[in-house]
Amino acid sequence: IMATNITFEDLDEPIAAKLRKECKSPIYPAASVRINPSGCAHTDLYRQHAERFRDFQIRENDVWIASYPKCGTTWTQEMVWLIGNDLDFDKARKLPLNERVPFFEAPAIASMPFTTCNDILSSLDKLTTRRFFKTHLTKELLPSQVWTKKPK
């Protein structure tokens, strides 16, 4: 299951070129590469973060919410975080959901400096509390330790 070699190929299909031409968001670039072995399309930003994502240190008590986009992920994040934190609604009201359950591959979705990605991943690594993550990555692109440390 674990991918050891991640490769990239530029998307050259006509629809991909049309999307890149018409979707000119300075924050959310259109997909421009196919990542193998998963075969999924991603932004070119993924290329610069792929190794860091793959080598991210996993803990056995981490909780990963892995889903397809737009299928109830936000609701699931809230529910899972509350269950994992003894229904602490007061804390949930005080901390935004994206801080309680960060979007793991966000640096590859939205344009941000590479140092920001490093800072995000470094800060996640330094957390002393149980960590919760949201991801839309395919199983081949998850951190390699997911398969050996076996988080929830």
Which of 4-8, 60-64, 118-122 has the least mean pLDDT?
118-122
Q: What is the mean pLDDT of residues 116-141?
A: 84
In this prediction, residue 116 has a pLDDT band, given cuts at 50, 70 and 90, of low
Q: So what's the pLDDT on residue 22?
A: 80
Q: In angstroms, rounded to a whole number, what is the distance separating the alpha carbons of residues 147 and 5?
A: 16
Q: So what's the pLDDT on residue 3?
A: 47
Sign of CA dihedral 9, 10, 14, 19: positive
pLDDT at 125 over 90: no
CB 112 within 8 A of CB 29: no
Burial of 106 (0-12, 13-18, 19+ CB in 10 A): middle
Q: Length of the chain, please?
A: 152
Q: What is the mean pLDDT of residues 72-95?
A: 96
5-55 residue pLDDT tens? 889 998 888 888 887 778 777 677 778 888 988 888 888 888 888 888 999
pLDDT at 61 over 80: yes
User: How many Cα neighbours within 13 Å face the side chain of 82?
Assistant: 13
In this prediction, residue 113 has a pLDDT band, given cuts at 50, 70 and 90, of low
Which of 27-31, 120-124, 148-152 has the least mean pLDDT?
27-31
Catalytic: 136?
yes
State the chain's mean pLDDT as an integer: 86
Q: In angstroms, rounded to a whole number, what is the distance separating the alpha carbons of residues 125 and 122?
A: 5
Instruction: Output helix, strand, coil percentages for the chain, rounded to the nearest 5.
Output: 40, 15, 45
Q: 145: Cβ–Cβ under 8 A, 6 or more apart, which residues?
A: 56, 57, 58
Catalytic residue, chosen from 34, 49, 131, 136, is: 136
Residue in the block written with tokens 């290329």:
47
